[in-house]
C-alpha cells in the first residue's frame, strides 16, 4: 500500500475532548453556528472540560477533530421544563454541572461539513446514551432547534409542525435526526435560544429514557459484553457491473446496520456474478479479470463500514498481483481501517480450474467488539488453525464459505460447530444460494447460515445461537455474550482450552523460510 493511500485512509477514534482540540472545534462551530453566536471561546471550552470531562466527546480522523458533542449532568428538578439554554448551561460555563444530578443534559452536537453523510452524529448520540447508562442516570434531555419551522411559521403552530415531522410529512434537519435516534418530544418551549430566528425562538424539549436506570453501573469505554452479529445469506444473481453489485451490498449493510449490529458478514466469492462478463474466456483467465475489481469493491466496502457504523467482513474475493492468484477476505472496520486474511488451504477444484494459491499467515484481529478470526471455507476444516487463533484469545470466528452441494456444506458446517466447542468461542458462517447458469465452476450454490456457541449450560442447548432457512436469501441478526466465554473458560463443565495436555502435545506455527 502506497504512502499516499495510507494518508487518505480514515482513522476514526471516539474519545474525550482535550483543550488542545480547541482550534478544530472552533473551525466547525464558526461555520455551523455563524448565525447563532459562533464558537465557544477557549476559556469556555476549558471550563466545560474542567466541569465534566467525561461528557465532552469528540470523533477524530487522523488526529483532527471532525465532530463533537458536549453535555453536563444536572439535577433537573432545579430547572424544570421551562428553562433556557443559557440558564441550564450557566451561560456556557457549565457551573451548573452537578455530580449528584440525575439527568444528562445535551448542549451541542456538531459535525464538520465535509463529514456529513457519514452518520457521525449518530455515533455521538450513541456515545451519550452509553455514558448515560454507565453513570446510571435517569435520562438524556436536550433542547432541540427546529430550523425548518421558519418556512411554515405563517401556516401552522409549532405543535402542528412537530406532528408533521413525526409523521414524516415534513423533514427537519435537526428534529428528524433526533426522533430517528429514539428521542421523544416532551413539550415545546419558547425563548430557549432567542437568537435562533430559523426556529422563531421555539425549541423542542427532547428526552431519551434510560431503561437500565439503577441497574447498570459500568463506566464508558469498557469492553463490549453483548455483541450483535449480522450474517448475509447472499443470492447469486447476474449483475451488469460493479455498481449493480454494490447496490445490493449496500442494501444488506443498511439492513444489518439498522439493527445496530457490530458485524456484517458476507459469503466467500460473493462477487462471483461478475464472472459472467468474461464468459468467453477460460475459467482461469476470467477469475483474474474479476480480481481487477477487488480494490474498488474494498474501497467502497470501507466507505460503507464508516457510513453505516458496522464492521464488515467482506466475504472473500480473488486477488491477483501478476504472479499469484489468491483468495482473500477483508475486514473493513468502522473506524476506517482495514485488514485481510488469505485463504490458506486451496481445494483441488479451485487449483485445477483457477490456479489459486494459498496464503502463508494467520492472525487474530482486534476490533471494537472483541477479538476475531477469519477462516475462509475449506480452512475451517483444519482444526489446527482454529486452535492457533484460540491461543491468541479469539472471541468470534467468522467463516465465509461457498459450497455447491449439501455434502460440501455439511463438511463446513460440522467443522464450524466443532471449532466452537473445542475452542470455546462463537463461530459465524454464511454462504451463497441460487444459481449462476453458464458461469463455469460457480453454477450452483447451497447454504444455511448459522451462529454456533460452546456447548454448556450458559449457551443454547444445541449450541446453535441462530440458524437461517436453507437456500433462501435472508439475514441472521443475533446477540452473543462475550462474558459467557470468560465464564466458560474459567468454570465450564469441561474446559477444553485450559485442560489440554500440553505436557504431551502442542501446535506450533512454522515460520516460512
User: What is the DSSP secondary-structure string of 130-186?
Assistant: HHHHHTT-SEEEEEE--GGGGGTTTTS-HHHHHHHHHTTSS--TTHHHHHHTT-EEE
Q: Which DSSP category does 435 fall into? A: B
In the three-class reduction of DSSP (H, G, I as helix; E, B as strand; rest coil), residue 446 is classed as coil
DSSP for 345-366 reads ---HHHHHHH----------EE
Given 60, 343, 381, 425, which residue is catalytic? 343
Helix axes 242-258, 294-308, angle to 10 degrees: 30
Q: What is the DSSP letter of 192?
A: S
Q: Active site includes 18?
A: no
Whether the CB-CB separation of 393 and 354 falls below 8 Å is answered with no
Cell (9 digits) for 371: 477479538
Q: Which of 58, 132, 377, 425 is catalytic?
A: 377
Q: Does 27 qualify as catalytic in the annotation?
A: no
Q: Identify the CA nearest to 386 among candidates 346, 423, 359.
A: 423
Q: Which three cell numbers stand for residue 25?
A: 472545534
Three-point CA angle 481, 483, 489, nearest 5°: 115
Rounded Cα distance, 207 and 112, in Å: 25
Measured between alpha carbons, how far apart are the two ends of the chain, in Å?
Answer: 24
Among 130, 133, 268, 381, the active-site one is 268
Confirm whether 377 is a catalytic residue: yes
Burial (CB count within 10 angstroms: exposed 0-12, middle 13-18, buried 19+), residue 265: buried
CA–CA dist 413, 448 (Å, integer): 9
CB count in 10 Å sphere of residue 200: 16
Q: Are 94 and 47 in contact (CB under 8 A)?
A: yes
Integer Cα distance of 84 and 390 in angstroms:
55
Q: Whole-angstrom Cα distance, residue 249 to residue 329?
A: 15
Contact 135, 104 (CB under 8 A): yes
How is 272-317 classified by DSSP, letter by letter?
GGGGGGGTTS-HHHHHHHHGGGHHHHHHHHHHHHHHHT-EEE--BE
Place of cell 435560544: 193
Q: What are phi and psi of 364, to 5 degrees?
A: -95, 140
Q: What is the DSSP string of 218-229?
A: PPTTPPPSEEEE
Residues facing 253 on adjacent strands = none
Cell numbers given for 211: 431503561
Residues marked active site are found at 268, 343, 377
Amino acid at each position: 500500500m502506497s504512502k499516499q493511500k495510507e494518508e487518505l485512509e480514515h482513522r476514526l477514534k471516539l474519545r474525550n475532548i482535550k483543550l488542545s482540540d480547541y482550534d478544530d472545534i472552533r473551525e466547525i462551530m464558526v461555520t455551523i453556528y455563524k448565525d447563532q453566536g459562533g464558537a465557544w471561546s477557549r476559556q469556555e471550552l476549558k471550563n466545560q472540560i474542567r466541569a465534566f470531562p467525561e461528557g465532552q466527546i469528540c470523533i477524530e480522523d487522523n488526529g483532527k477533530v471532525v465532530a463533537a458533542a458536549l453535555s453536563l449532568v444536572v439535577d433537573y428538578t432545579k430547572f424544570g421544563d421551562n428553562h433556557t439554554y443559557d440558564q441550564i448551561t450557566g451561560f456556557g460555563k457549565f457551573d451548573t454541572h452537578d455530580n449528584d444530578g440525575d439527568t444528562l443534559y445535551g448542549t451541542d452536537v456538531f459535525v464538520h461539513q465535509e463529514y456529513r453523510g457519514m452518520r457521525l452524529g449518530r455515533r455521538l448520540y450513541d456515545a451519550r446514551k452509553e455514558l448515560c447508562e454507565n453513570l446510571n442516570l435517569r435520562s438524556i434531555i436536550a433542547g432541540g432547534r427546529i430550523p425548518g419551522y421558519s418556512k411554515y411559521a405563517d401556516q401552522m403552530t409549532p405543535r402542528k409542525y412537530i406532528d408533521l415531522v413525526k409523521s414524516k410529512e415534513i423533514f427537519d434537519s435537526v428534529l428528524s435526526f433526533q426522533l430517528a435516534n429514539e428521542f421523544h418530544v416532551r413539550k415545546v418551549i419558547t425563548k430557549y435560544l432567542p437568537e435562533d430566528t430559523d426556529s422563531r425562538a421555539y425549541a423542542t424539549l427532547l428526552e431519551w429514557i434510560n431503561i437500565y436506570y439503577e441497574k447498570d453501573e459500568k463506566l464508558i469505554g469498557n469492553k463490549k459484553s453483548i455483541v450483535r452479529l449480522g450474517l448475509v445469506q447472499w443470492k447469486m444473481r447476474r449483475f451488469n457491473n460493479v455498481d449493480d453489485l454494490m447496490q445490493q451490498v449496500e442494501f444488506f449493510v443498511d439492513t444489518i446496520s439498522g439493527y445496530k449490529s457490530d458485524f456484517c458478514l458476507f459469503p466467500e466469492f460473493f462477487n462471483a456474478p461478475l464472472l459472467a462478463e468474461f464468459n468467453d474466456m477460460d475459467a482461469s483467465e476470467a477469475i483474474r479479470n474479476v480480481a481487477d475489481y477487488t480494490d474498488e469493491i474494498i474501497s467502497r466496502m470501507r466507505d460503507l463500514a464508516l457510513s453505516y457504523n458496522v464492521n464488515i467482513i467482506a466475504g472473500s474475493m480473488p486477488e491477483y498481483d501478476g504472479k499469484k492468484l489468491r483468495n482473500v477476505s477483508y475486514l473493513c472496520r468502522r473506524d476506517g481501517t482495514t485488514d485481510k486474511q488469505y485463504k490458506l488451504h486451496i481445494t483441488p477444484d479451485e487449483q485445477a480450474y483457477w490456479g489459486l494459491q494459498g496464503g502463508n499467515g494467520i492472525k487474530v484481529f482486534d476490533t471494537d467488539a472483541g477479538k476475531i478470526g477469519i477462516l475462509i471455507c475449506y480452512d475451517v476444516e483444519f482444526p489446527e488453525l482454529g486452535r492457533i487463533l484460540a491461543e491468541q484469545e479469539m472471541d468470534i470466528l467468522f467463516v465465509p464459505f461457498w459450497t455447491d452441494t449439501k455434502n460440501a456444506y455439511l463438511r463446513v458446517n460440522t467443522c464450524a460447530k466443532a471449532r466452537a466447542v473445542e475452542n470455546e468461542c462463537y463461530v459465524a458462517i454464511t454462504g451463497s444460494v441460487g444459481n449462476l447458469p453458464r458461469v463455469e465452476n460457480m453454477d450452483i450454490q447451497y447454504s444455511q447460515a448459522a451462529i454456533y456457541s460452546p456447548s454448556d449450560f450458559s449457551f443454547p442447548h444445541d449450541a446453535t445461537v441462530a440458524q437461517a432457512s436453507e437456500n433462501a436469501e435472508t439475514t441472521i441478526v443475533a446477540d452473543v455474550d462475550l462474558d459467557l466465554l470468560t465464564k466458560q473458560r474459567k468454570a465450564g463443565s469441561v474446559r477444553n482450552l485450559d485442560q489440554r495436555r500440553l505436557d504431551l502435545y502442542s501446535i506450533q506455527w512454522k515460520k516460512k523460510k
